[in-house]
Amino acid sequence: MFRQLQQAASFFRQSARLMVGVPDYDNYVAQMALKSPGEPVMSYEAFFRERQEARFGRGKCNTRCC
């Protein structure tokens, strides 16, 4: 039962982070290990920066600004 509570808490934490726009680095690392085991993995800082740029644009003016 304790394990089920831990899994539920983990799912809730991941869902809450995704709702507010915080990317899931642990999921990224797991997917890279599974699908591209020989490729280098970005650091958390580089991953976060890349996700922010993908979400908000790379300095381009789009419909979200102004």
So where are the chain's domains? 2-56
Question: What pLDDT score was predicted for residue 65?
Answer: 58
> pLDDT-derived band of residue 64, with 50, 70 and 90 as boundaries?
low
Question: What pLDDT score was predicted for residue 27?
Answer: 86
Per residue in 19-48, pLDDT (tens digit) is 877 778 888 999 999 999 899 999 999 998
**Residue tagged 């280098």 (tokens):** 40
Residues 42, 20: Cα–Cα separation, whole Å: 22
Q: Are 28 and 47 in contact (CB under 8 A)?
A: yes
Q: How many CB atoms lie within 10 A of CB 58?
A: 8
Q: What are phi and psi of 65, to 5 degrees?
A: -105, 170
Give the three-class secondary structure for 65.
coil
Task: Inform me whether the pLDDT recorded for 66 exceeds 60.
Answer: no
Question: What pLDDT score was predicted for residue 63?
Answer: 60
